[in-house]
Amino acid sequence: MLHVLSCNNYVSLCCILVLIITGDVHVGQIGHVFYLNCREAFLMIESFVSSDLRCFLTVFSNHDNVHMEIQGVRDFMPKRASTKLEQTRSAAMSEAPKPKPRVVICVGDIHGFITKLKNLWSNLENSIDQSEFETATVIFLGDYCDRGPDTRHVIDFLVSLPRRYPRQKHVFLCGNHDLAFAAFLRLLAPPLDGSPFSEGWKEYAANEDREGWFKGEGYEDMYLQGRRWSGNIKVKFNTAKKQDYQGSIYDAAPTFQSYGVPHGSADLVKAVPDEHKKFLADLVWVHEEDDVFVNTDDGVKCCKLIAVHAGLEKGKDVKEQLKLLKARNTREPKVECLSGRKNVWDIPEELTASSTIVVSGHHGKLHVEGLRLIIDEGGGYKDKPVAAIILPSLKLIRDTDEIAK
């Protein structure tokens, strides 16, 4: 005779299945337990039961709350049933394949080049297993605008990604160029101490004439970098880069033009779509990610990852820096972690003893040394590639790579 058994959850059901195999039945409700000899009735399904239980334990073997519940009901089992449960659990754990480390992709500066971005994205998609690509964490390291001709199309592409790849996690960092763009559109929150943006002009006032800061509509309460970004620099040739500036010291003229307005025009505020304004307003200044795996000389290492456009400053408390970055405090007229150079190149000393990856773009050169990753090969210039790095493999992918589909 077969009995219909009710149980409070699947854990209890699996205990019942073990007891069936060993010749006993257990109703998994603590305090209400009885046994029934039914070895012959259920012997025919022993192999199925064992397979079902093994599958269950493979899925849940690492969950402490399940361990506790199984331990709780084990006290009510006959000894042979408890032994069977432990043997099956141990076998399942030893046979279960270890999960692959999740894929994290860090994309360097794009700077208005939509063709490079699309080619890079295609190369990434063709370089990674499809299921891993579709569930990857993709961190864009900032500087989406300026220099290249297609800022508008670049932002269109980026805002479409969550819809096109809903299983991916997308992180969009703010670069120094993006911060200046957002400042001109008046998208930045005022300093946390309540001071006006104009307070920040004073420190750099000696540069105003040479850089031709913006003095058009709305400049009176504009963050310094917005004025510099939209200005007209007097000396047109950039001696360091051996080419002409494009409008301003930020090379912002192509961004204005991509929205159909001349460089330095206040009409840009109206020309930028609301969706793009929201994208710029929501950019994060820093991103932290736990349990990121990376291949090292000592094997695969589980790390914390900190992503910030330029880097973290040497000689300053890391926790305090992260606090200010998370708050997106505009009190400082120049945010060193978004625009610094030598002072943010290395990993801060206090992080060197920990397993912390610091990844950035910004610097116009590739640098992969230990856990310090700088992924920017100068993609803002026509003859330079846009690059990305894949973790944990540390494989570099460029828009110029020829990767078969």
Neighbours of 258 (CB within 10 A): 22
- Are residues 169 and 246 part of one domain? no
Same domain, 90 and 196: no
Q: Are residues 245 and 193 in the same domain?
A: yes
**Residues 227 and 297 grouped into a single domain:** no
Is 80 contained in some domain? Answer: yes
Is 1 part of a structural domain of the chain?
no
Residue 82 is predicted with a pLDDT of 58
Query: Which of residues 95, 119, 152 is at a domain's end?
Result: 95
What string of DSSP letters covers 266-329?
TTHHHHS-HHHHHHHHH-BS-EEEEEEEEEETTEEEEEEEEE-SS---TTS-HHHHHHHHHHT-
Closest to 50 (Cα-Cα) out of 97, 11, 87, 98? 87
Mean pLDDT by 10 residues, the chain (405 residues): 39 46 42 37 37 42 43 51 61 60 97 99 97 98 99 99 98 99 98 96 97 97 98 93 95 99 98 99 99 94 98 97 98 98 97 96 97 97 97 98 84
Domain around 120: 104-174+282-398
Residue 404 counted as domain residue:
no
Query: Residues 286, 393: one domain?
Result: yes
Q: How many CB atoms lie within 10 A of CB 255?
A: 35
pLDDT of residue 405: 72
Listed residue (36, 29, 35, 34) closest to 72, CA to CA: 29
Q: Are 54 and 149 members of one domain?
A: no
Asked if residue 326 and residue 249 are part of one domain, the reply reads no
Q: Output the pTM of the full model.
A: 0.77
DSSP letter (8 states) at residue 336 = H
Q: Do residues 192 and 337 both lie within one domain? A: no
How high is the pLDDT of residue 237? 93
- How confident is the model at residue 100, as a pLDDT? 79
Whether 4 is in a domain gets the answer no
Q: Residue 105: name the closest of 130, 131, 141 by CA.
A: 141
Same domain for 288 and 242: no
Q: Are residues 392 and 294 in the same domain?
A: yes
364 assigned to some structural domain: yes
Per-residue model confidence (pLDDT) at position 240:
86
Q: Which 3 state secondary structure label does DSSP give 225?
A: helix
Structure tokens at 99: 């999960």
Residue 315 sits in the same domain as residue 380: yes
- Position 66 scores a pLDDT of 42
Q: What CATH number has the domain bearing residue 298?
A: 3.60.21.10
Cβ atoms within 10 Å, residue 169: 14
Domain limit, last residue, from 274, 300, 323: 274
Query: Is the domain of 154 the same as that of 302?
Result: yes
Domain membership flag for residue 3: no
- Please identify, among 240, 274, 308, the residue that sits at the C-terminal boundary of a domain: 274
pLDDT, one tens digit per residue, over 217-247 is 999 999 999 999 999 999 999 998 889 999 9
pLDDT at 200: 96
Question: How many Cα atoms sit within 13 Å of 392 on the Cβ side?
Answer: 16
In a domain, 197, yes or no: yes
Which amino acids are annotated catalytic? 177
Tell me if 2 is assigned to some domain: no
C-alpha 170/C-alpha 335 separation (Å) is 23
When divided into structural domains, the chain yields a total of: 3
